Amino acid sequence: MTPENYVQQKAAASGSSFYYAFLFLPPEKRAAITAFYAFCREIDDVVDEVTDPGVAHTKLGWWQGEVSKSFSGNPTHPVMKALMPMTATYGIEARHLQAVIEGCQMDLTQNRYLDFPALQRYCHLVAGIVGEVAARIFGQTDDATTAYAHKLGLAFQLTNIIRDVGEDAMRGRIYLPVNELQQFDVKAHEVLKRQYSDRFTALMKFQTERALSLYDEALALLPAVDRRAQKPGLMMASIYRTLLREIAADNYQVLHQRVSLTPLRKFWLAWKTQAFGKVV
């Protein structure tokens, strides 16, 4: 299997909403974002699939070394072999990839966040940096687009956190800030045991409204000159905002299930954004 086939299969197998936005890119940009996304999946899978924290730390350490070797001209993993030819063209730097690894390392040492600023630091590494790299690949021409990409990445990550509260609880993780749990009188053990209450519903409504407002803030930051090039990000925003509305309409039933959109609906939302340039 070639490195290109490997990253293509890695990206497609994830079933992620991001994959649907990639389909509308020209081949060279699609190849770059697919390779970068496959890298992110490899790192994320270490945390989610390796049950022994010591082994996971070792694997992430291996990836840190692999990134350094790759930028010195010696990639060995198929993902890095596929990605490295694209790095100079799209301004992808070693610091970007190391930041993603650093963010995933936080998952091995921290399963609570005291407040929203602390959570934002985590989101910056695992989502803001990803947004920054994606914006470069999509065709960023204005420096101000970086602020948009980071804000949009934060909105995406908060959406993931809202959607995955139940799954994360099964792994012993609660990403919802501790002081906000206290604000709504939701106990950590209730989340870990996946117990619903009116208090939990109020907490999730608060989380959802903040995430939706961040999408609006991000879109307001996008310079008009880059709006056409950044359509893939707008497609993802359309899909993710629709997902948030589905979660709200279902009264935040996220503790026992993972709410998702069908592949056809994701493709339809992406196509509408591509055709009309509007985020629903």
**What is the mean pLDDT of the segment spanning 244-250?**
95
Report the pLDDT value the prediction gives residue 186, as an integer from 0 to 100. 98
In this prediction, residue 58 has a pLDDT band, given cuts at 50, 70 and 90, of very high
**What is the mean pLDDT of the segment spanning 56-75?**
96
pLDDT tens digits along 25-41: 899 999 999 999 999 99
What would the two tokens of residue 18 be?
Answer: 């991001």
Least confident of 2-11, 258-267, 269-278: 269-278
Q: Tell whether the torsion through CA atoms of 23, 28, 31 and 32 is positive or negative.
A: negative
Report the pLDDT value the prediction gives residue 278, as an integer from 0 to 100. 62
Q: Exposed/middle/buried for 82, CB within 10 Å: 0-12, 13-18, 19+?
A: buried
Tell me the CB-side half-sphere exposure of residue 93, using CA atoms within 13 A: 6
| 162 CA to centre of own chain | 12
pLDDT tens digits along 185-239: 999 999 999 999 999 999 999 999 999 999 999 999 999 999 999 999 999 999 9
Whether residue 280 is predicted with pLDDT greater than 60 in this model: the reply is no
Give CA–CA dist 266/260, Å, rounded: 10
